[in-house]
Amino acid sequence: MRYRKEHKQATRQRIIKTAGRRFKRDGIDASGISALMSDAGLTNGAFYTHFTSKDELVATAVADQLRAQNADIVEQAAPGRAGLEQIVRWYLSTQHRDSSDDGCPSAALLDEIRRCADPTRQAYTDGVLVVAEGIAARLAPDDPLSVRTKTLSTYAMMAGTLQLSRALADRQLADELLEQGIHNALALLGIEHGYATTAN
């Protein structure tokens, strides 16, 4: 029985991970249950063993993607302003731009999330606030709440810059846009003159 419970949890997590990747690649609306389950190596019938609806999976996958972004990027960054620079440079890197499947759910899905049901929007809000809090804690460690809106505004600017860079057919222009975005984000955070010149 213990094996079955662990196996079921592992299978559920596999569905969530593969769904998150497909949502970011193809969009939420364009990703049907059949394709999602095929990605996970499972049959359609197994879906309802783990989720009551596609909406539940979307909310769960969005939360999982933001949790992963926070754990893999924000929590791994150095403390203080050096960490802010690391986060900005990772986010606006050519690698991140060119790998949307593994990238930020905000840059890939914001337009669709705003049209999703309330549970998905709430899951997104909760997740993005955790990311924002990790950034704010480096910007104003004594009072991170005082810079939460500034942090969210910077995050939104970075997401928009990444989206536009992905959409441009001119690769050189897209790269220049990312570099300008790094300058802009660091300026918004008040550290434009303190960042290193390491490559993305």
DSSP H helices in 27-79: 33-39, 47-50, 54-69
Residue found by looking up tokens 């609806």 in the block: 53
Mean pLDDT of the chain: 92
pLDDT value of position 2: 56
Tell me the H-state helices in the chain. Answer: 2-26, 33-39, 47-50, 54-69, 80-91, 94-97, 105-113, 118-139, 148-167, 171-188
Question: Are 88 and 185 in contact, with CB atoms under 8 Å apart?
Answer: yes
CA distance 17 to 168: 28
- Nearest-5° Cα angle at 68, 155 to 56: 95
- pLDDT bracket for residue 6 (50, 70, 90): confident
Digit-coded pLDDT (tens) for 171-199: 999 999 999 999 999 999 998 655 444 43
pLDDT per position as a tens digit, 67-85 = 999 999 999 999 999 999 9
Angle at 26 between CA 24 and CA 29, to 5 degrees: 100
Condensed to tens digits (0 to 9), the pLDDT of residues 100-117 reads: 888 999 999 999 999 999
Using alpha carbons, select from 47, 41, 72 the residue that is nearest to residue 60.
Answer: 47
Mean pLDDT of 30-53: 93
Q: What pLDDT is stored for residue 198 in this prediction?
A: 41
Structure tokens that stand for 2 in this block: 């213990």
